[in-house]
Amino acid sequence: MHDFESDRQRLFSRRTLLLGGLQASVFAGLIARMYYLQITEGTRFATLAEENRISTQLVAPPRGIIFDRFGERLAANEQNFRLLLVPEQVGSVEEMLTRLNAFVTLTEADLRRFRRDLRRKRPFHPLLLADNLTWAQAAALEVRLPELPGVSIDVGLIRHYPEAIATAHVLGYVGAVSEADLKADADPLLSLPAVQIGKTGIEKLLEKELRGRAGAVDQEVNAHGRVIRRVDERAGTPGQNVTLTLDRALQNYVQQRLMTERSGAAVVMDVHTGALYALASHPSFDANAFSRGIGQETYSELLNDETAPLNNKALAGLYAPGSTFKMVVALAALEAGIIDAGHPVTCYGAMQLGNHKFHCWKRGGHGTLDMIGAIRESCDVYFYDLASKVGIDGIAAMARRLGLGTATGLDLPGEKAGLVPDRLWKEANRGENWQAGETLIVSIGQGYMLATPLQLAVMTARLVNGGVGVVPHLVKQIEQGRREQTEWPTLGLSERHLATVRRAMSSVCNDKRGTAFGSRITDKGQEMGGKTGTSQVRRISMAERSTGVISNENRPWRNRDHALFVGFAPVGDPRYAVAVIVEHGGGGSKVAAPIARDILLEAQRLNSAATRRAPLPAAEFIPPNPANRPQTSAAGAGEEPSD
């Protein structure tokens, strides 16, 4: 019995000791864990708890403002009144929507977006119901807010373009952030619902500079995410302001002047610095409609319009340059030393090459002309003769030297390169040898030759500025970044040869025999020089030529020739170069030259090249009256199509 009691006592003692050890181990583990949580990892867990308690909301900064060269606003931010609704404070959401519809017309798109957010977000979150409210709508709602529980008016910023039509193709527009934008740009600012991003033009090119950096607001929230109080606020960095080389007044005038025609483009450029004072494409579109959210019907109309209003014709429209290209051929011949300015050619109305006859626009011919006379009267046969002497490769080399055939490098998206053909190009792209007749066609700016109005303006600037290789640009200064480049290298062309070309271009406008004499500038000291051009868009058959070429007025619009003009002013001290294209407008002397004349007059009146100017309102635009124009002489009655 004693042994049994003794064994049981020893067994109990061992179990007690084991249990005590286990309890001590567990207690020690708890102490160690508490030490780890509170001492070793205390700071980290306190931070995590704080992060769960504090919600950080990004705040969009104001977008940078875009100015013209004289400090006039081209793109700014204006108040955007938005209608917000907190579902849990409303009671019946559908009933409130009905009441609000008496003050604001809620579109189907507004309602679809609202109901989508209603399903996705918590009931205490304010939801956007409508934006872009007018001041009258916002005011009417504001005074009735006590009767509209859960409804509020929020004031944000939206992009506004004061000259929305005139500057649409240059500035572009902003729009809602897409999934593609989010993938391409990791900036968390883009996740905010009200943020817009540059989609085209300068807005897209300088998106990061204009966007700025987000601010932040720290808010204390409960476990459900409901805001309890605002804890801290950190200001963002506004977007940088940008100054362009454009002259707002001139840009607006050029756009309005083009609106007298159905479709076209014009460029005004400083021949010495490369600054663009106007870059206009017509028809245009309302950039404000895009920033506010354009409707599908309106957008479809723009896409389906045969005049392509969304296309920037000034830098993306490709056209055969027609007779505006003849100065390139003349300069190529002079620089090659093949002929001099006095080289005579007799024009009988056509030139025979093998089995083919190449016609001049003037059916009876021009008679004998030298180089200045040939440019003045735009004699095709003269340039057939020069082209046969210089060859296509020599012509192509000079064209590229003057800025044709490659993108100019303009600081604006969407520029096209154009095309300057030569032997290698045809072999590589057509798999065929170059033909001698094709050289004659190129010499009058037809055939494979293609150029943009911007390239033609650059060509003109380089011809009249002493042979300096100016490059066009639009950005004058970024607030905290680069400034414009205004000095350019020389092209190494003979000043004597360039003077011959300038003199010939002056005679086009200021000699009674010139093709643009009827559109000359008569104001003393502001005279212009230039060159007319008419670009065919269809081939004229021999049968039609024998019976008489159908006039542009009697053809469908799409089959009419393009009208072109390149020019500069003033003749005595060139400063402004201009290029004008009127799509399917007919003859260059009849249609494009008067537009160029008016634009050059306005540029000189506004003194667009000045570094600063006192407030000077643009003259009220009055459509030109043909009765007030100088009359064209019989010898220069207009340029007809070239073959």
- Run of H or E residues at 531: strand 529-535
Query: Is residue 494 a contact partner of residue 534, using CB atoms and an 8 Å limit?
Result: no
Return d(Cα 643, Cα 627) in angstroms, integer: 32
> Cα(126)–Cα(123) distance, rounded to whole angstroms?
8
State the catalytic residues: 323
| 174-178-180 Cα angle (round to 5) | 115
Rounded Cα distance, 268 and 574, in Å: 13
CA distance 475 to 252: 18
**Are the beta carbons of 23 and 181 closer than 8 angstroms?**
no
Reduced to 3 states (helix: H, G, I; strand: E, B; else coil), residue 236 is: coil
Could you tell me the pTM of the whole model?
0.82
For the residues of 539-592, what is the DSSP string, one character each? PPPHHHHHH-PPPGGGS-GGGSPEEEEEEEE-SSS--EEEEEEETT---IIIII
Tens of pLDDT along 42-99? 565 455 444 455 555 666 788 999 999 999 999 999 887 878 888 877 878 888 888 8
The first and second tokens of residue 501, run together, are: 């070309």
- CB of 330 closer than 8 Å to CB of 502: no
* Per-residue model confidence (pLDDT) at position 224: 44
Cβ contact 123:100 at 8 Å: no
pLDDT in tens, 89-142: 787 888 888 888 778 877 777 778 778 777 777 776 677 777 777 788 888 888
Half-sphere exposure (Cβ direction) of 618: Cα atoms closer than 13 Å: 19
Q: Which residues make Cβ contacts (< 8 Å) with residue 435, sequence separation at least 6?
A: none
| Per-residue pLDDT at 56 | 56
| pLDDT tens-digit series, residues 576-605 | 999 999 999 988 999 999 999 999 999 999
- The predicted model gives 341-351 an average pLDDT of 95
pLDDT digits (tens, 9 = 90+) for 558-571: 778 999 999 999 99
* SS3 call for 205: helix
Answer whether 232's CB lies under 8 Å from 217's CB: yes
Q: For position 424, what pLDDT does the model report?
A: 96
Q: Minimal CA–CA distance to 481: which of 411, 560, 380, 534?
A: 411
Percent above pLDDT 70 for the chain: 81
First to last CA, the chain: 136
- Across the range 490-518, mean pLDDT stands at 97
Q: What is the mean pLDDT of residues 474-497?
A: 90
Q: Which of 480, 481, 467, 449 is nearest to 564 (CA)?
A: 449
pLDDT of residue 626: 47
Q: Which of 15, 33, 34 is nearest to 23 (CA)?
A: 15
Q: Which residues pair with 345 in a beta bridge?
A: 369
pLDDT at 525: 95
Task: Map out the domains of the chain with their CATH numbers.
Answer: 57-244 (3.90.1310.10), 248-292+312-476+485-636 (3.40.710.10)
Tell me the mean pLDDT in the region 595-624: 83
Query: DSSP code of 87?
Result: G
85, 129 Cβ separation under 8 angstroms: yes
* Per-chain mean pLDDT for the chain: 84
